Amino acid sequence: MEKRNSFSDGNVVIKPTREKGEPLVGPNAIMVAIPSVLTNMVDLVHAERAILEPFSPFKLFIAKKHKDLPLALAGPLLGAPQGAIVMEKLIALGAKRIWVLGWCGSLQPYLLIGDLIIPTTALSEEGTSTHYPVKKRRRQTSPFLNNRLEGALLRANLPFKKGPVWTTDAIYRETEKKVTAYGKRGLLAVEMEMSALITLAIYRSVELAGLLVVSDELFSLKWHKGVGVNKLKKKSREASRLLFDLCMGEGEGSDDG
């Protein structure tokens, strides 16, 4: 149960804004959590580094899209607080549809390293989302964006699973009891940002979808790491290309509303 903060509805002192010299971006933006995946994606699509305010905790790259405003690629990011900072800035720069590419740890024996997940909802064990009051609105990723993502994955012949995930601030407190209990409840994986980003998207009235690549396995209660495994690298590259092509594809202008 979310704890109610009686101060959460007041006017804020610091507002997310577009600072002088920062670019305007198009309606789509991709947040890339993992540094190596972001580097590979930037190289893959020949994106250019953009200017951000001094001391920004992430990098911003832009990819040109004909005569339209550029597609933004932002990251890396780790955890709900930094994820919210990145997303707030992207919204301030003009983004209306946020696509998140990240890694996660599998809680299910049928999800192995390199497999793909579309998160629909998230169990929150992080402290950021409570600062964004959304009352009783359903906390879920965008069905519209999820449908587009599913269609792209099917066309690319990339298998995936769709369902709830567990978001935690504490990677060293993923206890055996929690892994077992949340797995039995049907949660697919554990990661560190989705519940906060889902809540922020609802609060700011933007759309959000995620595509997670299984980077390690926890379901056996033994930590099986996938970093450096060729399948993880390959699926991360394929996911990067798919999201980029989806955002840059024809027909985007029809639903910018």
Q: In this predicted model, which residue has the larger pLDDT, 235 or 4?
A: 235
Q: How does the average pLDDT of the chain come out, rounded?
A: 92
Is cis: bond before 119, omega within 30 of 0? no
- Distance of alpha carbon 250 from alpha carbon 148, whole angstroms: 13
Q: Let me know how long the chain is.
A: 257
Confidence of residue 1 (pLDDT cuts 50, 70, 90): very low
Distances (CA, A) of 244 to 45, 46, 55, 125, 247: 8, 11, 27, 30, 5
Q: Which residue, 200, 235, 228, is CA-closest to 111?
A: 235
Q: Is 251 left (phi over 0), alpha (psi -120 to 50) or beta?
A: left
Q: What is the pLDDT of residue 196?
A: 98
Q: What is the mean pLDDT of residues 238-257?
A: 73
Q: What is the pLDDT of residue 9?
A: 66
DSSP string, 146-194: HHHHHHHHHHTT---EEEEEEEES-GGG--HHHHHHHHHTT--EEESSH
Q: In this predicted model, which residue has the larger pLDDT, 28 or 53?
A: 28
C-alpha triplet 192, 143, 120: angle, nearest 5° = 30
Work out the burial of residue 2: count CB atoms within 10 Å of its CB; fewer than 13 is exposed, 13-18 middle, 19 or more buried.
exposed
Q: 53-92, pLDDT tens digit by residue? A: 888 999 999 998 667 789 999 999 999 999 999 999 999 9
Statement: residue 7 has pLDDT above 80: no
Statement: residue 2 has pLDDT above 70: no
Q: What is the pLDDT of residue 66?
A: 67
Q: 171-221, pLDDT tens digit by residue? A: 999 999 999 999 999 999 999 999 999 999 999 999 999 999 999 999 999
User: With b meaning 16 or more CB within 10 Å and e meaning fewer, what string describes 218-232?
Assistant: bbeeeeeebeeeeeb
Work out the burial of residue 180: count CB atoms within 10 Å of its CB; fewer than 13 is exposed, 13-18 middle, 19 or more buried.
middle
Q: Is 53 helix (H, G, I), strand (E, B) or coil?
A: coil
Q: What is the pLDDT of residue 223?
A: 96
- Distance of alpha carbon 256 from alpha carbon 108, whole angstroms: 37
Could you tell me where the DSSP H helices lie in the chain? 35-45, 80-92, 143-155, 176-184, 194-204, 230-248
- Distance of alpha carbon 201 from alpha carbon 204, whole angstroms: 5
Fold classified for 28-248: Rossmann fold (3.40.50)
Q: What is the pLDDT of residue 256?
A: 44
Q: 131-184, pLDDT tens digit by residue? A: 999 988 889 999 999 999 999 999 999 999 999 999 999 999 999 999 999 999
The conformation of residue 56, written as its DSSP 8-state character, comes to: -
Confidence of residue 5 (pLDDT cuts 50, 70, 90): low
CB 244 within 8 A of CB 45: yes
Statement: residue 253 has pLDDT above 90: no
Statement: residue 22 has pLDDT above 50: yes
